[in-house]
Amino acid sequence: MQYGICNLSIVPLRLEPQDSSEMVSQILYGEHFKILEQRKKWSRIRLAFDKYECWIDNKQFIKITEEQYKSFDELPGNLVGDLVEFVSCEDNQLMTVSLGTSLNALDLFKHHYEGSKIVGKQEKNNLVNTAYHFLNAPYLWGGRTIFGIDCSGFTQMVYKLNGYPILRDASQQATQGEPLSFIEESEPGDLAFFDNEEGRITHVGIMMKDNYIMHAHGKVRIDRIDHTGIYNTEKRLHTHKLRVIKKII
Protein backbone atom coordinates (compact mmCIF):
# COMPACT_ATOMS: atom_id res chain seq x y z
CA MET A 1 0.00 0.00 0.00
CA GLN A 2 1.19 3.50 -0.85
CA TYR A 3 0.19 6.77 0.82
CA GLY A 4 -0.07 10.43 -0.13
CA ILE A 5 -0.88 13.91 1.13
CA CYS A 6 -2.16 17.05 -0.57
CA ASN A 7 0.50 19.79 -0.67
CA LEU A 8 -1.59 22.33 -2.64
CA SER A 9 -4.41 24.65 -1.54
CA ILE A 10 -7.43 22.96 -3.15
CA VAL A 11 -7.29 20.01 -5.54
CA PRO A 12 -10.23 18.56 -7.52
CA LEU A 13 -11.10 14.91 -7.05
CA ARG A 14 -12.58 13.20 -10.10
CA LEU A 15 -15.04 10.39 -10.73
CA GLU A 16 -12.82 9.02 -13.51
CA PRO A 17 -9.07 9.42 -14.20
CA GLN A 18 -9.25 12.40 -16.57
CA ASP A 19 -9.46 16.19 -16.25
CA SER A 20 -12.79 16.32 -18.08
CA SER A 21 -14.45 13.93 -15.62
CA GLU A 22 -16.98 15.10 -13.04
CA MET A 23 -15.50 16.67 -9.91
CA VAL A 24 -17.03 14.68 -7.05
CA SER A 25 -15.14 16.34 -4.19
CA GLN A 26 -12.05 18.33 -3.29
CA ILE A 27 -9.03 17.58 -1.15
CA LEU A 28 -7.55 20.42 0.86
CA TYR A 29 -3.97 21.20 1.85
CA GLY A 30 -2.72 18.77 4.50
CA GLU A 31 -5.34 16.04 4.00
CA HIS A 32 -3.83 12.55 3.61
CA PHE A 33 -4.96 9.35 1.94
CA LYS A 34 -4.21 5.79 0.85
CA ILE A 35 -3.34 5.12 -2.80
CA LEU A 36 -5.50 2.21 -3.96
CA GLU A 37 -4.36 2.19 -7.60
CA GLN A 38 -1.70 4.19 -9.41
CA ARG A 39 -1.55 4.83 -13.14
CA LYS A 40 0.84 6.94 -15.21
CA LYS A 41 -1.04 10.22 -14.66
CA TRP A 42 -3.74 9.45 -12.08
CA SER A 43 -4.21 7.62 -8.78
CA ARG A 44 -7.35 6.23 -7.19
CA ILE A 45 -7.32 7.13 -3.51
CA ARG A 46 -9.24 6.66 -0.27
CA LEU A 47 -9.23 9.73 1.97
CA ALA A 48 -8.31 9.17 5.61
CA PHE A 49 -10.81 11.79 6.80
CA ASP A 50 -14.04 10.33 5.39
CA LYS A 51 -12.98 7.17 3.45
CA TYR A 52 -14.17 8.75 0.21
CA GLU A 53 -12.77 7.08 -2.94
CA CYS A 54 -11.97 9.02 -6.11
CA TRP A 55 -9.22 9.91 -8.57
CA ILE A 56 -6.48 12.54 -8.17
CA ASP A 57 -3.90 13.90 -10.62
CA ASN A 58 -0.44 12.52 -9.75
CA LYS A 59 1.04 16.02 -10.11
CA GLN A 60 -1.11 17.37 -7.28
CA PHE A 61 0.13 15.46 -4.23
CA ILE A 62 3.29 14.02 -2.71
CA LYS A 63 3.85 10.54 -1.35
CA ILE A 64 4.40 9.84 2.35
CA THR A 65 5.36 6.75 4.30
CA GLU A 66 2.98 4.45 6.15
CA GLU A 67 4.44 5.73 9.43
CA GLN A 68 3.70 9.33 8.46
CA TYR A 69 0.17 8.38 7.39
CA LYS A 70 -0.49 6.74 10.76
CA SER A 71 1.01 9.65 12.65
CA PHE A 72 -1.37 12.09 10.92
CA ASP A 73 -4.28 9.81 11.86
CA GLU A 74 -3.35 10.18 15.53
CA LEU A 75 -3.03 13.98 15.56
CA PRO A 76 -5.92 16.13 16.84
CA GLY A 77 -7.61 18.59 14.52
CA ASN A 78 -5.51 21.69 13.87
CA LEU A 79 -7.37 23.79 11.32
CA VAL A 80 -7.23 27.20 9.65
CA GLY A 81 -9.73 29.41 11.49
CA ASP A 82 -10.04 32.38 9.10
CA LEU A 83 -11.92 32.52 5.81
CA VAL A 84 -8.67 32.86 3.84
CA GLU A 85 -5.09 32.69 5.10
CA PHE A 86 -1.68 31.75 3.72
CA VAL A 87 1.30 29.58 4.54
CA SER A 88 4.89 30.63 3.88
CA CYS A 89 6.90 28.15 1.84
CA GLU A 90 10.65 27.43 2.00
CA ASP A 91 11.43 29.70 -0.94
CA ASN A 92 9.51 32.63 0.60
CA GLN A 93 6.57 32.09 -1.71
CA LEU A 94 3.05 32.21 -0.30
CA MET A 95 0.26 29.68 -0.69
CA THR A 96 -3.33 30.55 0.10
CA VAL A 97 -5.31 28.20 2.34
CA SER A 98 -9.00 28.37 3.20
CA LEU A 99 -11.19 27.88 6.24
CA GLY A 100 -10.99 24.33 7.59
CA THR A 101 -7.65 23.45 6.01
CA SER A 102 -5.52 21.04 8.07
CA LEU A 103 -2.26 22.39 9.46
CA ASN A 104 -0.87 19.12 10.77
CA ALA A 105 1.61 18.72 7.91
CA LEU A 106 3.37 22.07 8.25
CA ASP A 107 6.60 20.47 9.48
CA LEU A 108 6.53 17.86 6.71
CA PHE A 109 6.16 20.56 4.04
CA LYS A 110 8.57 22.90 5.85
CA HIS A 111 5.92 25.60 5.71
CA HIS A 112 5.10 28.27 8.27
CA TYR A 113 1.69 29.55 9.41
CA GLU A 114 0.92 32.50 11.69
CA GLY A 115 -2.86 32.85 11.34
CA SER A 116 -5.71 31.82 13.62
CA LYS A 117 -6.29 28.15 14.38
CA ILE A 118 -9.11 25.92 15.58
CA VAL A 119 -7.95 22.98 17.68
CA GLY A 120 -9.99 20.05 19.02
CA LYS A 121 -13.73 19.62 19.55
CA GLN A 122 -16.11 22.52 20.07
CA GLU A 123 -19.53 22.61 21.75
CA LYS A 124 -22.54 21.65 19.63
CA ASN A 125 -24.01 25.13 20.01
CA ASN A 126 -21.05 26.44 17.99
CA LEU A 127 -22.10 24.60 14.81
CA VAL A 128 -24.50 27.28 13.59
CA ASN A 129 -21.99 30.03 14.36
CA THR A 130 -19.49 28.18 12.17
CA ALA A 131 -22.07 27.72 9.43
CA TYR A 132 -22.46 31.49 9.13
CA HIS A 133 -18.87 31.69 7.83
CA PHE A 134 -20.07 29.95 4.65
CA LEU A 135 -23.19 32.08 4.15
CA ASN A 136 -23.50 33.24 0.50
CA ALA A 137 -20.72 30.91 -0.69
CA PRO A 138 -21.68 29.89 -4.26
CA TYR A 139 -22.95 26.38 -4.88
CA LEU A 140 -20.35 24.15 -6.54
CA TRP A 141 -20.90 20.44 -7.15
CA GLY A 142 -18.10 18.66 -5.26
CA GLY A 143 -16.94 21.86 -3.55
CA ARG A 144 -15.71 22.08 0.06
CA THR A 145 -14.62 25.71 0.47
CA ILE A 146 -16.04 29.23 0.81
CA PHE A 147 -15.21 29.74 -2.88
CA GLY A 148 -17.69 27.04 -3.87
CA ILE A 149 -19.42 24.30 -1.91
CA ASP A 150 -22.18 21.73 -2.28
CA CYS A 151 -24.80 20.83 0.30
CA SER A 152 -22.98 17.90 1.90
CA GLY A 153 -19.60 19.59 1.58
CA PHE A 154 -21.10 22.46 3.58
CA THR A 155 -22.36 20.23 6.39
CA GLN A 156 -19.16 18.17 6.42
CA MET A 157 -16.91 21.23 6.68
CA VAL A 158 -19.03 22.82 9.43
CA TYR A 159 -18.78 19.62 11.46
CA LYS A 160 -15.06 19.25 10.64
CA LEU A 161 -14.37 22.74 11.95
CA ASN A 162 -15.96 21.74 15.23
CA GLY A 163 -13.97 18.52 15.55
CA TYR A 164 -16.57 16.01 14.30
CA PRO A 165 -15.80 13.99 11.16
CA ILE A 166 -18.83 12.97 9.11
CA LEU A 167 -19.09 11.26 5.73
CA ARG A 168 -18.98 13.11 2.40
CA ASP A 169 -22.27 12.70 0.51
CA ALA A 170 -25.77 13.50 1.79
CA SER A 171 -26.91 9.89 1.38
CA GLN A 172 -23.88 8.73 3.39
CA GLN A 173 -24.37 11.33 6.12
CA ALA A 174 -28.00 10.18 6.43
CA THR A 175 -26.73 6.80 7.70
CA GLN A 176 -25.16 8.50 10.73
CA GLY A 177 -26.72 9.72 13.94
CA GLU A 178 -30.09 9.26 15.61
CA PRO A 179 -33.36 9.99 13.74
CA LEU A 180 -35.86 12.43 15.26
CA SER A 181 -39.62 12.09 14.94
CA PHE A 182 -40.54 15.78 14.73
CA ILE A 183 -38.96 19.11 13.83
CA GLU A 184 -39.79 20.26 17.36
CA GLU A 185 -37.33 17.68 18.74
CA SER A 186 -34.42 19.11 16.76
CA GLU A 187 -31.68 21.38 18.04
CA PRO A 188 -29.55 23.91 16.17
CA GLY A 189 -26.80 21.95 14.47
CA ASP A 190 -28.83 18.82 13.74
CA LEU A 191 -28.95 17.74 10.10
CA ALA A 192 -32.10 17.62 7.96
CA PHE A 193 -32.15 15.34 4.91
CA PHE A 194 -34.33 15.60 1.81
CA ASP A 195 -35.17 13.11 -0.92
CA ASN A 196 -36.19 13.22 -4.58
CA GLU A 197 -39.16 11.66 -6.37
CA GLU A 198 -37.44 8.28 -6.38
CA GLY A 199 -36.95 8.44 -2.60
CA ARG A 200 -33.18 8.90 -2.84
CA ILE A 201 -31.62 11.35 -0.38
CA THR A 202 -30.05 14.14 -2.42
CA HIS A 203 -29.89 17.17 -0.11
CA VAL A 204 -28.89 18.09 3.45
CA GLY A 205 -28.91 21.23 5.57
CA ILE A 206 -28.16 22.43 9.10
CA MET A 207 -31.07 23.11 11.43
CA MET A 208 -31.28 26.50 13.14
CA LYS A 209 -33.60 27.96 15.76
CA ASP A 210 -37.26 28.79 15.13
CA ASN A 211 -37.78 26.52 12.10
CA TYR A 212 -35.00 27.93 9.95
CA ILE A 213 -32.39 25.94 8.03
CA MET A 214 -29.06 26.84 6.40
CA HIS A 215 -28.19 24.90 3.25
CA ALA A 216 -26.37 25.15 -0.09
CA HIS A 217 -28.85 25.71 -2.92
CA GLY A 218 -27.55 28.13 -5.54
CA LYS A 219 -25.57 29.56 -2.65
CA VAL A 220 -25.39 28.88 1.07
CA ARG A 221 -28.65 30.46 2.24
CA ILE A 222 -31.16 30.50 5.09
CA ASP A 223 -34.75 29.36 4.46
CA ARG A 224 -37.78 28.28 6.43
CA ILE A 225 -38.41 24.60 7.14
CA ASP A 226 -41.65 22.84 8.05
CA HIS A 227 -42.92 19.26 8.13
CA THR A 228 -43.17 19.27 4.32
CA GLY A 229 -39.64 20.52 3.68
CA ILE A 230 -37.72 23.68 2.83
CA TYR A 231 -39.89 26.68 1.98
CA ASN A 232 -38.33 29.43 -0.13
CA THR A 233 -40.12 32.68 0.74
CA GLU A 234 -38.75 34.43 -2.37
CA LYS A 235 -40.24 31.83 -4.72
CA ARG A 236 -43.17 31.08 -2.39
CA LEU A 237 -42.81 27.34 -2.82
CA HIS A 238 -41.23 24.27 -1.24
CA THR A 239 -37.91 23.48 -2.92
CA HIS A 240 -36.98 20.27 -1.05
CA LYS A 241 -39.07 17.46 0.46
CA LEU A 242 -38.14 16.52 4.04
CA ARG A 243 -37.17 12.91 4.65
CA VAL A 244 -35.63 12.83 8.14
CA ILE A 245 -33.86 14.97 10.74
CA LYS A 246 -30.93 13.36 12.52
CA LYS A 247 -29.00 14.22 15.65
CA ILE A 248 -25.36 13.57 14.86
CA ILE A 249 -23.92 14.79 18.18
Give 76-129 pLDDT, tens digit per residue.
Answer: 889 999 999 999 998 889 999 999 999 999 999 999 999 999 999 999 999 999
Give 177-194 pLDDT, tens digit per residue.
Answer: 999 988 999 999 999 999
Compute the CA torsion angle 189, 195, 200, 203 (nearest 10 deg). -50
Give 135-182 pLDDT, tens digit per residue.
Answer: 999 999 999 999 999 999 999 999 999 999 999 999 999 999 999 988
Residue 210 DSSP label: T
